[in-house]
Amino acid sequence: MSDALRGVVVAHGALAVALVQEAERISGQAGTLVAVSNEGGSREEIERRIADAVAREPSVVFVDMPCGSCFFAAMHLARQTEGVRVVTGVNLPMLLDFLHNRTLPPDEGAARAAVKGTDAIRKP
């Protein structure tokens, strides 16, 4: 088992792949996040995809919306899997911060990500 948290991004269509690609391109850290799409899957199938990405490791699952198929599938998995926490409203700033704070415990990693993601929403 790795000491670092896994980061799994779950979103509609191609959004998760795009977020992961850009987070890795900006940070220079490749292969540290896993993208999961809800495309063509029932809730059970999406949950299975997330479970494969989590791979029984301590993880933070980043979901695009606080409702919907991705959210329900992630929450279902988190309830049954120790060390998995869910954060909604995924954005690039929270992913970039997460990549530099992957040694936190899952609860703290998820809480920090939620704060960092919220901090990035401003009206300059």
Partner 1 sequence: MPIVLYRVDDRLVHGQVVIGWGKPLNIGFIVLLDDTVYGSDWERDLYRMGTPPEIELRFADLAEAVRQHATWRVEPANGIVLTADVATMAAFCQAAPPVERLNLGGIHHKPGRTPRLPYVYLADEELRTLEALQQAGTVVTAQDLPTTRAVPLEALR
* Stretch 5-24: interaction string toward partner 1, x if CB under 8 A: -------x------------
Task: Report the alpha-carbon distance of residue 108 to residue 106 in Å, rounded.
Answer: 6
| Residues in 76-115 at the binding interface with partner 1, rule: CB under 8 A | 76, 79
Alpha-carbon distance values, 35 to 18, 38, 50, 119 (Å): 9, 10, 9, 23
- Please provide residue 19's backbone torsions phi and psi, each rounded to the nearest 5 degrees: -65, -45
**Segment interacting with partner 1 (CB under 8 A) among 16-24, 26-34, 62-70, 93-101:** 62-70
Q: Which is nearer to partner 1, 57 or 72 (CB)?
A: 72
* Cβ atoms of residues 36 and 50 within 8 Å: yes
Tell me which residues touch partner 1 (CB under 8 A): 12, 40-45, 65-69, 71-72, 75-76, 79
